[in-house]
Structure 1
Amino acid sequence: MTGLSVEMLAADAPEPISSAGHAQLGIAVLAGIAVIVLLITRFKVHAFLSLTIGSLVLGAVAGAPLDKVITSFSTGLGSTVASVGVLIALGAILGRLLADSGGADEIVDTILAKAGGRAMPWAMVLIASVVGLPLFFEIGIVLLIPVVLLVARRGNYSLMRIGVPALAGLSVMHGLVPPHPGPLVAIDAVKANLGVTLALGILVAVPTVIIAGPLFSRYAARWVDVPAPERMIAARPSEDLEHRPRFGATVATILLPVVLMLLKALVDIVVDDPEDTVQRIFDVVGNPLVALLAAVLVGMFTLGRAAGFTRERLSSTVETSLAPIAGVTLIVGAGGGFKQTLIDCGVGDMILDVSKAWSIPALVLGWLIAVVIRLATGSATVATVSAAGLAAPLAAGMSSTHAALLVLAIGAGSLFFSHVNDAGFWLVKEYFGLSVGQTVKTWSVMETIVSVVAGALVLLLSLVI
């Protein structure tokens, strides 16, 4: 960041609501995060309430008037939900259509019919990556793990050899690729270009998922050799359907929003004229809200109607898809409120000053902040939104490419070493029938590999583009 950029940032920034020095602000940040961690991990308080209380503690310790702290938190929550909440809802609807119509099963069955032997781990990575694009991580696990167990049992494969690639595909999509909530919030916080972030996210995701999935699964299968637990092998979700969507139509529906957003990014680069009619058209159709809405509307026909859904069944599917995401939306919103409180208290400027004094590259600092919060809270989403708020000032003066890389560095850090304070840890443990130690050797190590490899690739890209 140039000196001119810093001066411009300081001139344009609003007056902080706190006049505390760096030491007090540092203590305030630690106190706020500590409260969030204790409430989530020790007292099992919901993350939404924990983030709300932690924001108030942060402001109080920073010496800011509480009425201004409340205003900052409410403003951040409202703006975050306004920018991301609708996208979360549309993604949930598309994911539910995919699951209930049997479209996910069609993808799984088609790929598995063409794969076997040594190709099976690679097939599982492909399945998880494609299906994981529109699905939240927890939904993806619930949807795919029964399939993983069936494949391992019927094909006599090592459970870890099949399961780790599937988990890697879901995790990488969740942390690095929009329209998942974490990356979307980070994009909004650092003012990055969504299309550029999406393109670079896919570029980083491919080698990351290969290393953490099929390659690492060879070692994971040696370290932990367990059979698929019979009690967890359930009936497929679409076995009661008379028809299933076709493979090509299903894949095209899932990839539609991704293609539209990538086309917008490409047109922005090639045309580079905000007044050009073609660019203005693609600015609309490539907007994530429009792209996801288009996928949902198309999916009602290519997925729902193809499976024989009546209008009433489609309406019911949409309705049931929205209830489970209320918690996710509130957590993401509260994370945005915490982020805004950090910024308004002056913590962003403090981070900016410290990073200059320590000469820590912005991408490394963003990754490290996300790692610390991830280890403390266990939530990749909380780590992403909090780290994005802290690192946002570092993006001032960055090119669109490097701002996108900062988002990916934060996303990579948010996946580091999942352990006992992460709900995903226990989901994997229970579905695979593992002990805590076996889960650490497989799932936790895999998450760490994803984080480190993705972070290293982001740094490498920053040197060449």
Structure 2
Amino acid sequence: MTALAAGWTGHDTRLIGATLVAIALIVVLITKAKLHPLLALILGSGLLGLAAGMPVDKLIKSFGTGVGTTVASVGVLIALGAMLGKLLADSGGAEQIVDTILAKAGKRTLPWAMALVAALIGLPMFFEIGLVMLIPVVLLVAKRSGRPLMLLGIPALAGLSVLHGLVPPHPGPLAAAGALNANVGLTLALGLLVGIPTLIIAGPLFGRLAARMVPDAAPPARLIPEAEEKHEHRPSFRATLSTVLLPVVLMLGKALADILLGKENEARRILDFIGDPLVALLAAVLVGMFTLGKAAGFDRARLSGTISEALPPIAGILLIVGAGGGFKQTLVDAGVGDVITGLATGASLSPLLLGWLVAVAIRLATGSATVATVSAAGIVAPLAATLDPTHGALLVLAIGAGSLFFSHVNDAGFWLVKEYFGLTVGQTLKTWSLMETVISVVAIALILPLGALL
């Protein structure tokens, strides 16, 4: 600590102070002024750069570079993921997954079935879209089975949330992987390794406790579906599942090839190409147009319409992620990351724990998991340069885990869950907020030992 103090300068103090003020401004603008996160991140980046003493021309160039780099690296991937999710929803493929799994599940295994349904549907979908799609399923299954709403709802919410925070191709993990130059396939593989036990604990197991804490949860009657909407034609379960899992299998194949095969191996070159996230997701969308769209009886016009309709809803997400990338690059170019790296090195703090703590702080302040992920990735980015690929991927997961910590009243997801499930604010805190915290803590508790072992 003495050496750390001796190396500390007034400029370091200025940078840390500028960072705290900029983050505080973003928090106030999002939570109090209700400003869109895009505008809040732009203004926060400007304040950071000016307070850190960056020349205006360098500040503007830095922010623009960050936006461009981030959108270039993850923008098309997010768009392809949205297209696959829209095909899954419009074709009836999502219904097919739900019906098939629930038909096999007994009354006791329903919570586990709901977690599995949410995980499968959540792979290609954004959290909010998956939530809106799953809510009618949860309410209908609860009504038919007579099981407590929270017993079924918490596993479904956990399935969506775990994937949202830990598994590419969701925007947060993708953006963090891009910012830290982490291997997306390796991140996906380790994300599944951490995510499965996390989902079991935070989903079906915690769901039992949540059902006891809030036994009388009852959604508004207007939200309970009378019957499931049925498509005249819909793809088979096997075709749907194969399409959803195709990009995952391709990216995992690339990750395994990178570990097991030499760089000059021809098989590795092929797997590196088809397992690239862009190629894998593009292949899934093209395959899905036939296995999902054509199987549902879509003509060319309907297919084109479905693909087109997938893009407008993600415009806001793309812009927030891009602005987060601009804020990240401003942090890096101002030298904040180097100061944080020096602090972590001097204090002998694990990069994984540091990434988690920074993401937790920003998540609690802003309420946005995506903002927390991209901002934390920017702050700890210099640390990633010193890590091997495995630990770089684990750092992405640590940040993703931190970004899920304790959703509360400044998070849009909090209010979605409250209204859909007919809960009070207190009940939402005891169920949804606590579930998010369990996910975050269990995930980092698994990630830290993995970091020590691998």
TM-score, normalised by the number of residues in structure 1: 0.94
**Is residue 305 from structure 1 mapped to residue 300 from structure 2 by the alignment?**
no
* Partner of residue 225, structure 2: 234
Shift in Å, 1:237: 7.4
Do the aligned partners of residues 310 and 238 (structure 1) sit closer, same or farther apart at CA in structure 2, a change above 3 Å counting? Answer: farther
Residue number among 267, 288, 292 corresponding to 2:281 in the alignment: 292
- Paired residue for 1:32? 22
Mapped pair 1:323 → 2:293: no
Q: Does 1:205 align with 2:195?
A: yes
Structure 2 distance, partners of 1:131, 1:80, is 26
> Cα–Cα, structure 1 residues 126 and 376, in superposed 2: closer, same or farther, change >3 Å?
same
Structure 1: distance between partners of 2:70 and 2:50: 23
Instruction: State the match for 1:182 in structure 2.
Output: 172
**1:103 corresponds to:** 93
Q: Does the 8 Å contact 2:218/2:423 carry over to 1?
A: no
2:407 is paired with a residue whose SS is: coil
Read off the aligned partner of 1:397 and give its amino acid letter: T
CA distance in 2, matches of 1:29, 1:367: 17
How far, CA to CA, are the matches of 1:262 and 1:236 in structure 2? 38
Instruction: Check if 1:386 corresponds to 2:384.
Output: no
Contact 2:139–2:225 under 8 Å retained in 1: no
Is the 2:165–2:404 Cα contact (8 Å) retained in structure 1? yes
After the TM superposition, which of the residue ranges 440-449 and 222-231 deviates more from structure 2?
A: 222-231
Corresponding residue for 2:337? 348
Relative to structure 1, the CA distance from residue 56 to residue 237 in structure 2 (aligned partners, 3 Å threshold; closer, same or farther) is farther
Query: Cα deviations across residues 191-234 of structure 1 (Å, max 9, x unaligned)?
Result: 11111111110000000000000000111001112234321123
| 8 Å Cα contact 1:152-1:228 kept in structure 2 | no
AA of the residue aligned to 1:101: S
Match in the other structure for 1:11: none
Shift in CA distance, 318/391, structure 1 to aligned 2, threshold 3 Å: same
Q: Tell me, what secondary structure is at the counterpart of 1:282? A: helix
Give, in angstroms, the shift of residue 366 of structure 1: 0.4
Q: Are residue 458 (structure 1) and residue 447 (structure 2) matched?
A: yes
The answer on whether the counterparts of 1:73 and 1:337 sit within 8 Å (CA) in structure 2 is yes
Q: 2:326 aligns with which of 337, 342, 346?
A: 337
Which of 394-403 and 359-368 deviates more?
394-403
Given candidates 426, 435, 443, the residue that maps to 2:432 is: 443
Matched, 1:116 2:106: yes
Contact 1:20 1:62 in 2 (8 A): no
Q: Does 2:49 match 1:59?
A: yes
Query: Within 1, Cα distance between the matches of 2:228 and 2:336?
Result: 48
1:145 and 2:135 aligned? yes
Cα–Cα, structure 1 residues 186 and 208, in superposed 2: closer, same or farther, change >3 Å?
Answer: same
Cα deviation for residue 257 of structure 1 reads 0.2
Partners of 2:81 and 2:184 lie apart in 1 by: 16
Which amino acid counterpart does residue 170 of structure 1 have in structure 2? L
Write the deviation string for residues 245-297 of structure 1: whole angstroms up to 9, x where unpaired. 10010000000000000011111112121x33222211110010000000000
Q: Which letter maps to 1:188? A: G
Number of aligned positions between the proteins: 445
Superposition deviation, residue 359 in structure 1: 1.6
Shift of 1:31: 1.0
Tell me if structure 2 keeps the 8 A contact 1:146–1:232: yes
**Which amino acid in the other structure matches residue 37 of structure 1?**
V
- Cα distance in 2 between the residues matched to 1:377 and 1:332: 14
Residue 433 of structure 2 is aligned to residue 427 of structure 1 = no
Q: Is the 8 A contact 1:20 1:63 kept in 2?
A: no
CA contact (8 A) 1:271 1:279 kept: yes
Q: Which amino acid aligns with 1:55?
A: S
- CA deviations 1:32-60 (Å, max 9, x no partner) are 11111111111111111110110001011
Deviation, 1:236, is 6.7
Aligned 8 A contact 1:101 1:238 in 2: no
Q: Could you tell me how far 1:398 is from its partner in structure 2?
A: 1.3
Aligned to 2:4: none
- The 1:351–1:236 alpha-carbon spacing in structure 2 relative to 1, beyond 3 Å, is farther
1:156-195 → structure 2 map (5 Å cutoff)? 156-195=146-185
1:15 equivalent in structure 2: none
**What is the CA-CA distance between 1:427 and the residue it aligns to?**
0.5
- 2:112 & 2:302 partners in 1: Cα distance? 35
Which of 265, 270, 294 is matched with 1:281 structurally? 270
Range 353-362 or range 36-45, more displaced: 353-362
- Report the residue type matching 2:57 in the other structure: D
Unaligned runs of 5+ in 1: 1-18
Task: Give the 3-state SS of the residue equivalent to 1:325 in structure 2.
Answer: helix
Residue ranges of structure 2 left out of the alignment (5+ in a row)? 1-8
CA distance in 2 between counterparts of 1:120 and 1:395 reads: 41
Matches of 2:357 and 2:275 in 1, distance apart? 32
Q: Which residue of 2 aligns with 1:94?
A: 84
2-side partners of 1:423 and 1:264: how far apart?
A: 36
* CA displacement at 1:396 relative to structure 2: 2.1
Q: Which moved more, 1:311-320 or 1:186-195?
A: 186-195
Counterpart among 366, 371, 396 of residue 377 in structure 1: 366
**SS of alignment partner, residue 445 of structure 2:** helix
1:404 aligned counterpart, secondary structure: helix
Question: 1:384 is matched by which residue type in structure 2?
Answer: T
Contact 1:100-1:237 at 8 Å conserved across structures: no
Are the counterparts in 2 of residues 370 and 387 from structure 1 also a CA contact under 8 Å?
yes
Q: Distance in 1 between matches of 2:36 and 2:318?
A: 13
